[in-house]
């Protein structure tokens, strides 16, 4: 192969590396993952807001439950004491008075507990609805993350092979030409050379002037004119 063929081979190698790198970094699954994660962030915000509303009501409900439990335990204890008591009439009257008071407090506590329960249930439904909506998205996010990792691993292997081939093609160029190519590549990326397609550099897609087209057509074999716009070496 001559210098032109070697330069074209290196250009194609770099273009393939660029294509595969772009594919690796712009997988359709990655775009979907961004959408899924945005939806999950919105659901998380909704969940936090719903839980913030629920928390004080649930806390009050649980306090009422505990107070009701305490009063029931006290009422049962007083009932038991009265059933087996041999105390005098004054003591019995005191116990009966306390029991009546405890039962009155218990009735109020149970009414309050019921009120809180009625308030808690719809708020819990909101929290559970947000969680139910989020669960498929959490599953899909895990699936996408696994798919992206697998696809990128395969493309990484392909890039290793392509870069090995690129090194071999670069070594086939003369030192001077490789230096010119690499200088252009470092400035513009993708590749350091380009072809002329219908009077345009196919690297930057800018049309060459008629004078530049004539210069390009008249260049000596093995000498490569740079594109006046991007600096890529123009292949004959």
Which among 132, 137, 170, 167 has a CA at the least distance from the CA of 6?
Answer: 170
Which among 182, 222, 216, 176 has a CA at the least distance from the CA of 14?
Answer: 182
Residue 111 pLDDT greater than 90, yes or no: yes
- Average pLDDT value for residue range 83-88: 76
- Average pLDDT value for residue range 111-121: 94
Residue 1 pLDDT greater than 80, yes or no: no
161: Cβ contacts below 8 Å, ≥ 6 apart: none
Quote the DSSP letter at residue 44.
H
pLDDT-based confidence at residue 175 (cuts at 50, 70, 90): very high
pLDDT-based confidence at residue 231 (cuts at 50, 70, 90): very high
For the stretch 178-188, pLDDT in tens is: 999 999 999 99
The answer to whether 192 touches 185, Cβ cutoff 8 Å, is yes
Position 93 scores a pLDDT of: 86
The answer to whether 141 touches 34, Cβ cutoff 8 Å, is no
Q: What's the Rg (C-alpha) of the chain?
A: 40
For the stretch 20-74, pLDDT in tens is: 999 999 999 999 999 999 999 999 999 999 999 999 999 999 999 999 999 999 9
- Average pLDDT value for residue range 134-147: 98
Domain residue spans of the chain: 3-173, 177-235
- Average pLDDT value for residue range 120-135: 97
Calpha distance 72→113 (Å, rounded): 13
Quote the DSSP letter at residue 205.
-
Count of residues in the chain: 236
Which CATH architecture does the domain made up of 3-173 adopt? Orthogonal Bundle (1.10)
Position 81 scores a pLDDT of: 86
Position 160 scores a pLDDT of: 97
Position 219 scores a pLDDT of: 87
For the stretch 70-85, pLDDT in tens is: 999 999 998 888 888 7
């Amino acid at each position: 192969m001559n210098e032109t063929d070697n330069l074209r081979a290196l250009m194609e190698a770099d273009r393939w590396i660029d294509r595969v790198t772009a594919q690796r970094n712009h997988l359709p699954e990655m775009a979907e993952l961004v959408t899924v994660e945005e939806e999950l962030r919105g659901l998380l915000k909704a969940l936090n807001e719903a839980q913030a509303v629920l928390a004080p009501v649930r806390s009050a409900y649980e306090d009422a439950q505990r107070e009701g439990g305490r009063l029931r335990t006290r009422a049962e204890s007083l009932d038991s004491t009265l059933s087996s008591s041999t105390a005098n009439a004054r003591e019995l009257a005191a116990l009966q008075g306390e029991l009546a008071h405890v039962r009155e407090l218990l009735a109020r506590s149970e009414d309050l507990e019921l009120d809180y329960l009625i308030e808690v249930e719809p708020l819990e439904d909101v929290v559970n609805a947000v969680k139910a909506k989020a669960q498929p998205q959490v599953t899909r996010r895990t699936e996408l993350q696994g798919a992206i990792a697998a696809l990128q691993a395969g493309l990484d292997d392909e890039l290793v092979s392509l870069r090995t081939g690129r090194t071999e093609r670069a070594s086939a160029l003369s030192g001077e030409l490789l230096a010119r190519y690499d200088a252009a590549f470092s400035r513009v990326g993708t590749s350091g050379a380009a072809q002329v397609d219908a009077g345009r550099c196919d690297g930057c897609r800018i049309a060459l002037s008629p004078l530049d087209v004539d210069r390009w057509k008249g260049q000596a074999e093995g000498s490569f004119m740079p594109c006046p716009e991007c600096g890529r070496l123009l292949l004959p």
